[in-house]
Structure 1
Amino acid sequence: MERQSDETSLSSAVDTKTETTSKTASTPARGRSRRLYGAILALLIVLGAGAWWLYQQYTHVFVTDARIAADIVALSSRVPGWITTVEVIEGEAARKDGVLVRIDDRESQLLIQELDAQIAGIARHQEEIDARIKLIDRQTISRIAAKQATVKAAKAAVAAVMSQHELARQDNDRAEKLVPRGNITRARLDQTRAVLETAKQQALSAQADLENARAALAEAEAAREELTVLRTQLAKLDPEEQRLQAQRARAVLNLEDRVIVMPFDGVVDRVFVDAGEYITPGQRLLMVHDPEHVRVEANVKETDIRFFQPGKVVTITVDALPGQRFEGTVARVGQAATSEFALLPNPNPSGNFTKITQRLPVRISVAQDSGRLKPGMMVELEARANE
């Protein structure tokens, strides 16, 4: 029995050793299979990625020289003066017509007050001349009427005296003819002569009175010429008032320009001044832009420009926003290469020429995305080459 038990134990030990040896032999084979499968999978992934890359390279055009752009406006002052307050800081949003910078306006206000006083003085002067014109008009009308009546009376007196003078002359003529005949006495002749002389003197006196009356009438009428002078002075006040009004309008404009306001809804990019600084006309004060109106400015190789015609839809990826893609539309293609605007052009005078692919500017319109597209951000463009 013991021998049989030993044989059974020996047989079990041999079977266990054989099984262990078999498992140990199959483990390296299984590891080699897994490594082989992994290598094949990696090779397939690499081949797939390479094939996809080659497909993209042949069917798409990529541009890396591109960035977000916007119309950044540099605000300056038209008038000189001291900065009193700066109402905004860099990066702050501002509404249209919101106050950005205030410039000292005391001198402008004083100038407006001075011009207002001068304009008011012009108005008072006009009222004075109007009153004088009305007064002189009434006075001269009544005076001329009186002098005209005097002239009429003098004319009537002259007519009466002349009638008496004519009668006295006729009486004297008859007496002169009758005296030689003895029909009248010498005394009667002397009497007619005296009457004729008296009538003659009365006629001269009446004529003199008429001339005096006419002179007085002319003087009264000449007094009305002062009305012309006054009306001329009154007319000259209108251009003077217009000149003062123009000066006042310019002073008001000067006062308004001492408050720098936001030209549109946007953000403040840079502030170049502080309160207390003295600025000059044209000096740059702030830089602002409208974040809702952004675009992409790209420099495209001349060999690829045919794929960026106006209206072409392109895909945009932003370096600052990985994983997001935007669609844009080509809005404009430049008509000259960027090298044409270089500060130091290269006309190649030596004859040593190296051909370099030139680039043309392209503008692409793109919609803003909650203000995340900011001017200056680098972007990449992707356009299909077979469209």
Structure 2
Amino acid sequence: MPLDSKRKKIIKKVGVVAGVCLAALVTYETFYWATHVYEYDARIEAKLTTLSSRVDGEIEKVYVTEGDLVKEGDLLVALKANVQRLKIKALEADLIREEAQRAKLEVEILAFEKDLTSRLATKRETIKALNIKHATIETRFELAKRNLERTRILYRKKLTSKKSFEQEQSKALIIEAEVENSAASIKVSELELEEIKASNSNLDVLKAEKKIINLNIKKLNTIKNQEEAKLTYYYVRSPINGIIDSVYKYKGEHVEEAERMILLHDKNSLWIEANVDESQLRHLEVGQRVIIDMDAYPYPFQEFNGVVTFIGSVTASEMAGDKVKSDGRSRKQTQRIPVRMKILDPPEKIAPGMLVEVNIQIYDQIWF
């Protein structure tokens, strides 16, 4: 009987201890549930970059495989570009021809300008000399006319011979003819000067031809630049530092414009996205600490730390355009708000799409 009493006391004590432990556990779980926001269906997300072909063509070589680390600017895929290179070479040949034609015209223009300048200067000097000569002859003619008039008066008065009078008359006639010839020579030279000036229109023609060639060269350069830019489309380069996730096309395959070839992501752009129940929205703030459990690194062996970086301003269903209606009215459903979290101590091996569980600590936002 004493033994049974002692056993009952032990069982009673064990029961009390078990009850206290159970109560403590329930209290702890209740407190933990009230001070944390859980989400069991979260995923690791990343900025996935899909690289597509910008031209139709055949793949010449693929330089990467899945899992490769690449840097911004690294060559990933090359398409055959022989035809494009030939187009550029043809344009370069056209440019060389046009530039040679322009150089030839420039030489012709320079020679023509020099010749025209020389001829104009020579003709102007000739006219200047003729004018001086003409002025001299006119002076002599005026003098001859006065001598003839004086000799005529003397001849009438019988103070000089007829022969002297006729000589003076002959001199005056000769000098008068010289005046007329001189004036005619000046006129001819002036007409020749105008003719030389008129030939300047030929220079205008040459300059117009040069302007046309310059426009052709500018046009060819523009087309060449466009074709050279298009040549870069045949070489697909990485726009980011990242990891190759998928290669969809391989050497020898034909691709069309906008057909995808490579998928990659920036390993430094990973984040966690969880759709949190709307009833917990009032407790969430940017900057709150997050405990992260990954299926790939199961608890309790390893857990990770994070922080809330973004709280959505629209529900996940609204972003997806999912509106369920019945009898013209929206059926009431629990909505979820997208919340993003940054992993502060990510593991070495991590990939977009991995499943995680998040535990957001909300001590300061609880109202008791």
TM-score category of the 2 structures, normalised to the smaller one = 0.7 to 0.9
Q: Deviations over 1:322-343 (max 9, x none)?
A: 0221111111111111222233
Alignment of 1:1-387 (within 5 A): 49-171=25-147, 173=149, 195-223=171-199, 226-323=202-299, 324-346=302-324, 350-351=328-329, 354-367=331-344, 369-387=346-364
Cα root mean square deviation, aligned: 3.7
Distance (whole Å) between structure 1 residues aligned to residue 203 and residue 150 of structure 2: 57
Checking the alignment, whether the CA contact within 8 Å between 1:76 and 1:281 is kept in structure 2 is: yes
1:210 deviates by 0.7
1:231 deviates by 4.5
Checking the alignment, whether the CA contact within 8 Å between 1:65 and 1:300 is kept in structure 2 is: no
Checking the alignment, whether the CA contact within 8 Å between 2:54 and 2:257 is kept in structure 1 is: yes
Checking the alignment, whether the CA contact within 8 Å between 2:304 and 2:345 is kept in structure 1 is: no
Indicate the larger mover: 98-107 or 213-222: 213-222
Distance 1:354 1:310, change over 3 A: same
Checking the alignment, whether the CA contact within 8 Å between 2:284 and 2:362 is kept in structure 1 is: no
Distance 1:152 1:101, change over 3 A: same
Distance 1:242 1:368, change over 3 A: farther
Checking the alignment, whether the CA contact within 8 Å between 1:294 and 1:367 is kept in structure 2 is: no
One-letter amino acid matched to 1:384: Q
One-letter amino acid matched to 2:346: D
Distance (whole Å) between structure 1 residues aligned to residue 173 and residue 200 of structure 2: 41
Checking the alignment, whether the CA contact within 8 Å between 1:292 and 1:368 is kept in structure 2 is: no
Distance 1:336 1:344, change over 3 A: closer
1:72 deviates by 0.3
1:136 deviates by 2.6
1:196 deviates by 4.5
Checking the alignment, whether the CA contact within 8 Å between 1:95 and 1:266 is kept in structure 2 is: yes
Indicate the larger mover: 318-327 or 187-196: 187-196
Distance (whole Å) between structure 2 residues aligned to residue 59 and residue 272 of structure 1: 47
Q: Larger C-alpha radius of gyration, 1 or 2?
A: 1
1:58 deviates by 2.1
Aligned length: 362
Indicate the larger mover: 159-168 or 97-106: 159-168
1:120 deviates by 2.5
Indicate the larger mover: 141-150 or 340-349: 340-349
1:125 deviates by 2.8
Q: Deviations over 1:180-221 (max 9, x none)?
A: 777778887776665554443332221111112223333344
1:239 deviates by 4.3
The runs of 5 or more residues in structure 1 that have no matched partner are 1-26
Q: TM-score, normalised by structure 1?
A: 0.78
One-letter amino acid matched to 2:38: F
1:299 deviates by 1.0
One-letter amino acid matched to 1:335: S
Checking the alignment, whether the CA contact within 8 Å between 1:133 and 1:227 is kept in structure 2 is: yes
Report the identity percentage: 25
Indicate the larger mover: 194-203 or 98-107: 194-203
Distance (whole Å) between structure 2 residues aligned to residue 354 and residue 235 of structure 1: 74
